[in-house]
Structure 1
Amino acid sequence: MPMPQLPPLPDVPLHIAAPAIATSLAYLNAKWSFFYDWNLVRSLVKMTAKTRWAEYRDRLNLFYVLEQHALSSSTANHPFIVYNGRTWTFHEAYETTLRYGAWFKKTYGIKPREIVAMDFMNSSTFVFMWLGLWSIGAVPAFINYNLTGKPLTHSVKVSTSRLLFVDEEVRRCFPPQQLEIFSSPDFRDGKGNVEVVFFTPEVEAQILQTEPTREDDSVRAGRIGRDMAMLIYTSGTTGLPKPAIVSWQKCWSGSLFVSNWMSLKKTDRLFTCMPLYHSSAAILAFITCLMSGVTIIVGHRFSARNFWKEVRDNDATVIQYVGETMRYLLAVPPEKDPQTGEDLDKKNNVRMAFGNGLRPDIWNRVKERFNIGTIAEFYAATEGTSGTWNLSSNDFAAGAIGRNGTIARLVLGRGIAFVEVDHETESPWRDPKTGFCKQVPRGEPGELLYAIDPVDPAQTFQGYFNNSKATEGKILRDVFTKGDAWFRTGDMIRWDKEGRWYFSDRIGDTFRWKSENVSTNEVAEVLGGHPDVHEANVYGVALPHHDGRAGCAAIVFKNQGHAVDPSVVVPEPSQETLNSLASHVLRQLPRFAAPLFLRVTHEVMTTGNNKPQKHILRTEGVDPSRVSDKDRLYWLRGDKYVPFEKKDWDRLNGGQVKL
């Protein structure tokens, strides 16, 4: 029996069909994030191919990238480094780099693969010392210029360096007793002392008079991806800083990915005043610009009041932030042109703000006030094996640290896991019967893990220099099957069903109170949403005669901020403000999560990268004898915050108060 003939489909005019097709494609793209994923995957593919090609050609040392730009007619005269009003083209930077390298070798006999410590503030000198060491095959170790005393001694000692070059500007960190420690012949475990060289104008003059000699390729040869390119230290917020091995592979992959992901163009000018001793500015800003032939503007240090002036004066198109940088910028009064009344906050050519740590409670305020179209937020760690990325130009992924669609999930899914955590032990929970970890349901917070090779972890995770114990401590084994291995991020991340990643908390920051887990990050976001709160740092404090930890928030109110002299007692907030804050937190948080204590302070303690520190605050707790007498303590009684005094602490100690 013949098949019945269906009537022919009517011809649809193109002017009707095209919008319908476009609408369907837009819907599918929004639902599955095809175009967004394509950019992610394309960036990953380019990154991998170029890195492998460089290793195959024995050109992993990034000195060769500088050389290529410097000797190419299309880029030789393109601006590369801008600092303090002066500009160096790629060719000028190359010649200066050769002078530094030749001086290092001639004056100090620095050899290939030798580690050399440098303690410098942001400057063109920092960059040229770094590139100069690479040009002769040496390895720089970046010392945090804020360090003094024991942390400084430790950081230099574990680097094993025999030389420490020091910025004249941080000479104050090197009193006679510190120099005496470094000069001890036993300082380097019997291998001699550390020679401290202060970088004076006379030293700089010697370098710039040195002949720009290019060392033979043999001094840079034989490097493989996992080999150490430099040492960058952890922040040391919970102990002494640890030197993380930053491999050539990480330098290449991080910078190439970011360059492609942000679609950097030769016309872009990236401004960073974040510290170059840290990986955010060193790898993802400076090396990214080097790799992509883009101009980098180096700010000496972060200044909330001068930030936008530097951006405008240097015609920056991309700016970098870290931690609470943007919150500090919002705290500065709006700036108007005194002649025209023009809003100077919006008068810039910035198309993108790039960094990590922009909190959801100020995300859109930053975009609106400073006229920034796109936020490029990422999440990563210096010693980590991977990261997450969120290129956001609308409200869909506002506040997220990463984002992906269906395609990226299929590509990356097997290499990541989110596991349930026991916050008492601060370790992933394991099933008593099987001993394996348990993945959390999609949308719930769990510790983010990255898969690594159990036989050869160093293929992707090089760990900490000369510290196998700390390195092994970041590896979790037998997680889902016998013999597997995963890198522990130590962070609680929530991956929702729409493909957005949100930072929940750092393990150790989440605390238990009233048998409930409390995320300090979520509480801080609620506090940050109150109109009178400039900044809040939330942590758990141990209390006598009580289990778990009670919530405490170090608060900086907007009407005090940094304008008040920190040497005097912080102004007492009005009872109206305190009542309003209590009402705000009790309305938005369950009772167990509402901060039981407030510590009103002049400023929240941060790292050099503007990230809040909690370790000292947790240690001091709410014991009035340990808390600075410049700060004020309050506690929640009923539905109001009232002063917390020594008599109240004595009652707690005596077991007379039940919370």
Structure 2
Amino acid sequence: MYVISIFLASLFILPLLLKRLCPYFWKDAFYLVKMLNISKTYILLRRRKPIFLFVDRFLEQTVTRPTETFVVFDNERYSYRDADTTSNKIANALLCHPHYNAGDTVALFMGNEPAFMFICLALAKLGSPVALLNHNIRSRSLLHCFSCSNAKVLMAASELKGAVGDVLSSLREQSVTILLMAKDCDLREMESFSGEVEQASEAPVPRSFRSHVTFKSPAVFIYTSGTTGLPKAAAVSQDRLLMALAVMACSGVTADDVIYLNLPLYHTSAFVIGFVGSLETGSRVILKRKFSASQFWVDCRTHRVTVIQYIGEVVRYLCNTPTGPDDRAHCVRLAIGNGLRADVWRNFLRRFGSVQIREFYASTEGNVGFVNYTGKIGAAGRTNVFQRMLFPYTLVKYDTERDQPVRDARGLCIESLKGETGLLVSKITERAPFIGYLGNEEQTEKKRLRDVLRKGDVYFNSGDLLRVDLEGFIYFQDRVGDTFRWKGENVATTEVADVLSLAGCVRESNVYGVAVPGHEGRAGMATLTFKDGTTLDCKETFAHISYYLPPFAWPQFIRIQNDLELTGTFKQVKFKLVKEGFDPNTIRDPLFIADPSRKMYRPLTPDMYDSICLGKVKL
């Protein structure tokens, strides 16, 4: 009887002790069990014959739930059968085209709409990789992104005909076939393709067309600015998309959920998590053309949305909308995303109710990621021994002045201590590969960090500074290199500088990102010098950058100097400029701010600076 009493008492006391000594023990244990089950499912899928790809999961859903709604767009609903039939027609129309062969890479230039999804499914059925072009890019950037995809076919939305027309002569030189998703086109260099699709057969696409595909084959190319230069095409393998099927499921999403998808589909988050992830769960997707803060909760109530995707900027915009009595009148229970600041996180929960936030850290081309499955506010993820065994990673000390990792006398990197900020690096292995960038071996090699913990090892350089606290939570600190993030987009400083160099008056430019109170990421700023006899033309300069760059890449601030400061190795000094920011109270150089309403730059005054810092002026 005494032994039984001790046993029963221990059953009662042990959980209390664990909660006090290891407050996250049970959440860690449940997450570990979930990851083991996901790993088991993934292994079983990989063993299936013939090879099982993400598109095969879509085909399974088509069989088991043909009439269930797959995607809702505006006032139109598409079932799984509709998506399957339409993607078959697109695939069969492509097979009839003389300049396309199954397996060829196709570039897709299109905004958020169901056709985007259906085309991607069609190409997956044909074993063709798809390069997802940002529909905001124009001119040189558009041509660069298309060219590095090695595609010979460009499929474009009808409303983007003008953007394609701007680079038509260069595309013609490359013998590119341009298929416009319209019923007719007045340019002979472009072919109207919607009519061909309507007349095409609905017959299923034989599996033989993708028999050449392996798990290592690229499924999609997603463009990332990385750390420097123009956008680079990061290859996402079939294997990675197969793993992505589990992302929504491991977060507790089921077929009963309704997912609100308003992030751009050319982004990793929307494509890999929102689109591909929903194929596993069979959830209904509410697809929007773009994010609208004023329409967000209206849509969520109308469609009884239960799951939303976010980036930090989206949540901040929602928190900045006027408060109302129906702020908590919604069905949203789960939010999945990244880049959420702690203060915005708290504000969101306080205002919109107890929504479960599933913050994560990952990158398009990276080989490691973290998930904050505990809901710890401000943390980007949590470490665990199981993950570190399978996907070795570490944080190493980083010299931001020299822009390189700190090394010891042996030439090896020095690991950061708990609580210290360090550069995240993850070991490149067969299980955790780094494929790199299509047609850009130089930038691919820059992301490989060698001799990290021992001579001869190779790690992926994330380019991100993180910190791990004593409890094992990971916090994002900053980015390194020549890229800043603004409005949820990576902006390469070299691309902006190249555009500024085309302006007739600019002699030199130094582009960087500066922190703005109350805003996520960093706003673009350019320090300029001018050619003899010229000065800043406020209207002409704005017209120039707005023509060549998407809004998120515009320099919000301009600083004028007589000469740019250089280092001893003739590199532009950025660190000092970044630190000084855009405060006219401390900077003697002339400062200007972009004014889109007037389509010009105008002088930045101390009063205007104070208004920006107080949140009275939105950038």
> TM-score scaled by structure 2?
0.77
Could you say which residue in structure 2 is the equivalent of 1:174? 164
Could you say which residue in structure 2 is the equivalent of 1:647? none
CA contact (8 A) 1:61 1:220 kept: no
- Structure 2 CA distance for aligned equivalents of residues 434 and 134 of structure 1: 48
Report how far residue 483 of structure 1 moved: 1.0
SS at match of 1:183: helix
SS at match of 2:434: coil
1:244-283 residue CA offsets vs partner (Å, 9 max, x unmatched): 1110111111331x12320111101111110001111000
CA contact (8 A) 1:317 1:351 kept: yes
Could you say which residue in structure 1 is the equivalent of 2:505? none
- Structure 1 CA distance for aligned equivalents of residues 179 and 332 of structure 2: 39
- Structure 2 CA distance for aligned equivalents of residues 154 and 105 of structure 1: 27
Alignment of 1:338-353 (within 5 A): 343-353=325-335
- Structure 2 CA distance for aligned equivalents of residues 245 and 436 of structure 1: 29
Letter in 2 for 1:489: S
Counterpart of 1:598 (choices 582, 602, 612) is 582
Q: CA RMSD in A?
A: 3.4
Indicate how the Cα distance of structure 1 residues 102 and 641 shifts in structure 2: closer, same or farther if over 3 A, else same.
Answer: closer
1:369-414 residue CA offsets vs partner (Å, 9 max, x unmatched): 1224210111111111121111244xxx101110245x546645x7
1:26 equivalent to 2:19? Answer yes
Report how far residue 419 of structure 1 moved: 0.3
Alignment of 1:466-615 (within 5 A): 466-508=439-481, 524=515, 527-528=517-518, 537=522, 596-598=580-582
Could you say which residue in structure 2 is the equivalent of 1:262? 251
Could you say which residue in structure 2 is the equivalent of 1:624? 590
Could you say which residue in structure 2 is the equivalent of 1:401? 380
1:559-612 residue CA offsets vs partner (Å, 9 max, x unmatched): xxxxxxxxxxx9xxxxxxxxxxxxxxxxxxxxx999644369xxxxxxxxxxxx
Could you say which residue in structure 1 is the equivalent of 2:290? 301
Letter in 1 for 2:266: Y
SS at match of 1:30: coil
- Structure 2 CA distance for aligned equivalents of residues 53 and 319 of structure 1: 28
- Structure 2 CA distance for aligned equivalents of residues 310 and 642 of structure 1: 32
Letter in 2 for 1:501: I
Could you say which residue in structure 2 is the equivalent of 1:419? 396
SS at match of 1:476: strand
Letter in 2 for 1:633: L
SS at match of 2:343: coil
Indicate how the Cα distance of structure 1 residues 235 and 266 shifts in structure 2: closer, same or farther if over 3 A, else same.
Answer: same
Could you say which residue in structure 2 is the equivalent of 1:355? 337
Report how far residue 9 of structure 1 moved: 3.6
CA contact (8 A) 2:592 2:602 kept: no
Indicate how the Cα distance of structure 1 residues 304 and 500 shifts in structure 2: closer, same or farther if over 3 A, else same.
Answer: same
The runs of 5 or more residues in structure 1 that have no matched partner are 1-7, 188-192, 336-342, 512-519, 529-533, 545-569, 571-591, 601-620, 644-659
Indicate how the Cα distance of structure 1 residues 536 and 630 shifts in structure 2: closer, same or farther if over 3 A, else same.
Answer: farther
Report how far residue 241 of structure 1 moved: 1.0
CA contact (8 A) 2:228 2:482 kept: no
CA contact (8 A) 1:446 1:494 kept: yes
Report how far residue 162 of structure 1 moved: 1.3
Indicate how the Cα distance of structure 1 residues 195 and 250 shifts in structure 2: closer, same or farther if over 3 A, else same.
Answer: same
Could you say which residue in structure 1 is the equivalent of 2:63? 71
Letter in 2 for 1:537: R
Report how far residue 524 of structure 1 moved: 4.9
Indicate how the Cα distance of structure 1 residues 236 and 77 shifts in structure 2: closer, same or farther if over 3 A, else same.
Answer: same
1:48-83 residue CA offsets vs partner (Å, 9 max, x unmatched): 6425633552334322111111112xx223221221
CA contact (8 A) 1:142 1:231 kept: yes
SS at match of 2:357: strand
1:451 equivalent to 2:427? Answer yes
Structure with the greater alpha carbon radius of gyration: 1
1:15-67 residue CA offsets vs partner (Å, 9 max, x unmatched): 97654344234345515x34334324533552464256335523343221111
Alignment of 1:315-394 (within 5 A): 315-335=304-324, 343-393=325-375
Alignment of 1:223-262 (within 5 A): 223-235=213-225, 238-256=228-246, 258-262=247-251
- Structure 2 CA distance for aligned equivalents of residues 642 and 328 of structure 1: 18
Indicate how the Cα distance of structure 1 residues 633 and 417 shifts in structure 2: closer, same or farther if over 3 A, else same.
Answer: same
CA contact (8 A) 1:389 1:402 kept: yes
- Structure 2 CA distance for aligned equivalents of residues 156 and 488 of structure 1: 26
- Structure 2 CA distance for aligned equivalents of residues 10 and 480 of structure 1: 51
SS at match of 1:159: coil
- Structure 2 CA distance for aligned equivalents of residues 487 and 307 of structure 1: 37
CA contact (8 A) 1:41 1:408 kept: no
Report how far residue 129 of structure 1 moved: 0.7
1:272 equivalent to 2:261? Answer yes
Could you say which residue in structure 2 is the equivalent of 1:650? none
SS at match of 2:522: strand
- Structure 1 CA distance for aligned equivalents of residues 29 and 158 of structure 2: 47
Indicate how the Cα distance of structure 1 residues 16 and 334 shifts in structure 2: closer, same or farther if over 3 A, else same.
Answer: same
Counterpart of 1:313 (choices 302, 307, 313) is 302
Letter in 2 for 1:325: V
> TM-score scaled by structure 1?
0.72
Indicate how the Cα distance of structure 1 residues 216 and 539 shifts in structure 2: closer, same or farther if over 3 A, else same.
Answer: closer
- Structure 2 CA distance for aligned equivalents of residues 162 and 542 of structure 1: 39
- Structure 2 CA distance for aligned equivalents of residues 291 and 111 of structure 1: 29
Indicate how the Cα distance of structure 1 residues 290 and 325 shifts in structure 2: closer, same or farther if over 3 A, else same.
Answer: same
CA contact (8 A) 2:258 2:307 kept: yes
- Structure 1 CA distance for aligned equivalents of residues 88 and 445 of structure 2: 39
CA contact (8 A) 1:271 1:318 kept: yes
Letter in 2 for 1:147: I
Aligned residue pairs total: 525
- Structure 1 CA distance for aligned equivalents of residues 157 and 109 of structure 2: 6
Could you say which residue in structure 2 is the equivalent of 1:194? 176
**Residue identity (%):** 29
